[in-house]
Amino acid sequence: MLEIRGLTKYFGGVVAVAGLDITIKQGEIVGLIGPNGAGKTTLFNLITGFLRPTKGKIVFEGEDITGQKPHYLAERGIVRTFQLNSIFPNFSVLQNIVAACYLKPKVGLWEDAFHTPSSRRKKEYALSRAKEILKFTGLDTQEDKLAEELSSGWRKTLSVAITLAANPRLLLLDEPVTTLDPERVAFIMNLVTKMRESGVTVVVIEHNMKAIMDYCDRIVVMAFGRKIAEGSPEEVRQNRDVIDAYLGV
């Protein structure tokens, strides 16, 4: 589904990512781990168009998407979360999701400005869709709460709910459960699993090893901008290079 070939990114003289070759297959949940500074978030930024690669190619479902803008990629189905603040703080929980339904339903500018019947229908659809998503993610009881007043556990849940609204085919989650307690971790990872069951491919950056090991089909390990290992959780757990990379930092 997603093919990354020879991806390289320089920031001035610093190499953030070097010669990465990664393949993501449809329907997988792939864990992306590695010590801090390994280039994981940079990789996400490159895939989703927030950064332009210095070298290399990114191909999504046969289309070369290297250097495309994030909103274009979102329309193609590539959606991501951000490590911090992946919510709209001044919106209510419900408004967050309604706003995130931007792509579905797509309301044209003119019909929206003139409040045509079709735009009103679409808005109702967005509202009902948002409520469904809130129910699915367990946020429905807090739908009128201001997003910035949510606890960190619910915030992270909201950020996943936002991606749901954006109708992803490939979902990139940046530390969705870091610092959360085990119950919340299980809750969110279960959501992710359910999303996979409806056809979403997922890549997860995480430091919470238990979450990675329990829920990922496959793991890719990065360090110093390079891929140093990949394989099933068991394989990676016993890999010498991986152990060295983590201990060495």
Partner 1 sequence: MSRRKLVKPLSFGALIILLFLIPLFVKGPYQLHVLIMAGIAVILATSLRLIFNSGELSLAHGGMMAIGAYTSALLVMKLGLLSWAALVGAGVVAGVLALLVGYPFVRLHGIYFSLVTVFLAEVIRLITEEWGSLTGGYMGIINIPKPDPIVIPGLLNIDFASKVDFYYFILVLTLVTLLILYALERSRITLTWFSIQQADFLAESIGVNTARFKVLAFSIGCFFAGIAGGFYSQYVAAITPSAFGFVYTVFCVVYMIVGGRRSFYGPIIGAVILTFLPEVARVLKEYQPFVFAGVLMLVIFFLPEGVISLPQRLRKLCEKRFGHA
Q: Which stretch binds partner 1 (CB under 8 A): 163-171, 182-190, 204-212, 224-232?
A: 163-171
Supply the DSSP symbol for 70.
H
Nearer to partner 1, 91 or 224 (CB): 91
Nearer to partner 1, 7 or 107 (CB): 107
Q: What is the rounded distance in angstroms from the CA atom of residue 63 to the CA atom of residue 161?
A: 27
Rounded to 5 degrees, φ, ψ at 62 are 85, -10
List residues bridging with 173 in a β-sheet.
Answer: 204
Q: What is the rounded distance in angstroms from the CA atom of residue 249 to the CA atom of residue 247?
A: 5
Place of tokens 């496959």: 218
Can you tell me which of 3, 8, 102, 169 binds partner 1, judged by CB under 8 A? Answer: 102
Residues 36-55 that bind partner 1 (CB under 8 A): 48, 50
Question: What count of other Cβ atoms lies within 10 Å of the Cβ of residue 63?
Answer: 10
Q: Does 214 bind partner 1 (CB under 8 A)?
A: no
Which residue from 62, 57, 61 is spatially nearest to 170, judged by alpha carbons? 61
Minimum CB separation of residue 173 from partner 1 in Å reads: 12
Q: Does 118 bind partner 1 (CB under 8 A)?
A: no
Tokens representing residue 36 in the block: 């801090």
Report the DSSP pairing between strands 2-11 and 55-60: antiparallel
Q: Does 208 bind partner 1 (CB under 8 A)?
A: no
Residues 48-87 that bind partner 1 (CB under 8 A): 48, 50, 69-71, 74-75, 79-80, 82, 85-87
Q: Which residues bind partner 1 (CB under 8 A)?
A: 48, 50, 69-71, 74-75, 79-80, 82, 85-91, 95, 98-100, 102-103, 107, 109, 112-115, 119, 123, 126, 162-163, 165-166
